[in-house]
């Protein structure tokens, strides 16, 4: 017997993250936590300190994809010289997660 999860809180585990026309192909699936609290879906990915929410699961997933894209645009392609030490750590995590961008 398969137990249906209340509010669709099954894990969010993307292998590809799509935002606008960009596709981020990942080395491995991201294992994100999904919760339903205060009438919102919350998706969190601790290694990149991402925590987003939406009124629907689709909104939360779209917010996650936007946030991932924004992190990559702000840190992943930035020169180390203009980043703080913490930002360089974040950049290196992003670069190890992303296999290709299409």
Q: Is the pLDDT of residue 4 over 60?
A: no
Query: Which pLDDT belongs to residue 9?
Result: 78
Which pair of structure tokens corresponds to residue 99?
A: 């296999």
Each residue of 54-88: pLDDT tens digit? Answer: 999 999 999 999 999 999 999 999 999 999 999 99
Q: Is the pLDDT of residue 3 over 60?
A: no
Q: Residue 91 and residue 101: Cα distance in Å, rounded?
A: 15
- Report residue 1's pLDDT band, with 50, 70 and 90 as the boundaries: very low
Which pair of structure tokens corresponds to residue 84?
A: 């703080």
Query: Which pLDDT belongs to residue 6?
Result: 61
Query: Which pLDDT belongs to residue 5?
Result: 52
Each residue of 5-47: pLDDT tens digit? Answer: 566 778 899 999 999 999 999 999 999 999 999 999 999 999 9
Query: Which pLDDT belongs to residue 8?
Result: 73
Which pair of structure tokens corresponds to residue 50?
A: 């991402």
From the list 69, 4, 7, 11, the residue with the least C-alpha distance to 39 is: 7
């Amino acid at each position: 017997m398969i137990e249906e999860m209340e509010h669709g809180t099954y894990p969010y585990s993307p292998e590809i993250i799509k935002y606008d026309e960009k596709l981020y192909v990942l080395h491995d699936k991201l294992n994100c936590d999904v919760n339903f609290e205060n009438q919102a879906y919350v998706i969190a990915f601790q290694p990149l300190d991402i925590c987003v929410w939406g009124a629907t699961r689709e909104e939360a997933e779209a917010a996650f994809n936007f946030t991932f894209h924004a992190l990559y645009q702000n840190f992943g392609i930035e020169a180390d010289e203009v980043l703080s030490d913490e930002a360089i750590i974040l950049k290196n995590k992003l670069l190890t997660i992303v296999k290709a961008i299409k």
